[in-house]
Structure 1
């Protein structure tokens, strides 16, 4: 399928699909005319990317985790490497949340 059809089927703009490709998340082949062609699995891959992005993962982390995903909702096969990556990401997220809570408390202290 062409990029326009993939965009329609996934609700993701062609620009974003090209970005996913540039980040190594989405594979495509090029026809002689230069058009991108995607196979039917690209729809599932884009849905997995979107689900992983919604969970707060960066495209760099997604590139590592994506080969271990399955299904439209990005279920993850928790091999030891992926478990380690997700555990590290969760710990980093917990640190950011703690920092935000501290900042919120400091800001709220200024209000009567």
Structure 2
């Protein structure tokens, strides 16, 4: 199927599908006229990529794990990859804590500001 239908079927924008191709995450077939031809397995991969990205993983980690998922061995994901994901998650937790502190400071400022408004 061509990219418009692939986009519709996968639920991922055509722009994102092209981006995944540009990044080497998918390799669609080509028709004789040069149009991309997306098969079901490519669309399945597109859905997996989208899911991983939506879970917050950066593209570099998605790129690392895809070969393991492609061969149907998600348990074969190496320990180093798991440690990378844990480090990424821990970094998110640190950023969230910082944002919560900023929000608390803003809340305190607003309470004071509202109390002094006449």
* TM-based fold match above 0.5: yes
Residue 59 (1) aligns with residue 79 (2): no
1:109 match: 108
Residue 31 (1) aligns with residue 31 (2): yes
Higher helix share: 2
Larger radius of gyration: 2
- The alignment's TM-score, normalised by the length of structure 2, stands at 0.78
Taking only aligned residues, the RMSD between alpha carbons, in angstroms, comes to 2.0
- The alignment's TM-score, normalised by the length of structure 1, stands at 0.82
Change (3 A) 1:76 1:104: farther
1:5-30 deviation per Cα after TM superposition (whole angstroms, max 9, x unaligned) = 21121111211110111122222233
Rounded to whole Å, the distance in 2 between the matches of 1:5 and 1:54 is: 22
Rounded to whole Å, the distance in 1 between the matches of 2:74 and 2:95 is: 24
Aligned residues: 108
Q: Which runs of 5+ in 1 are unaligned?
A: none
Change (3 A) 1:92 1:76: farther
Runs of 4 or more, structure 1, over 4 Å off, are none
1:84 match: 83
Q: What's the CA shift for 1:41? A: 0.7
1:96 match: 95
**Residues 28, 38 of structure 1: 8 Å contact kept:** yes
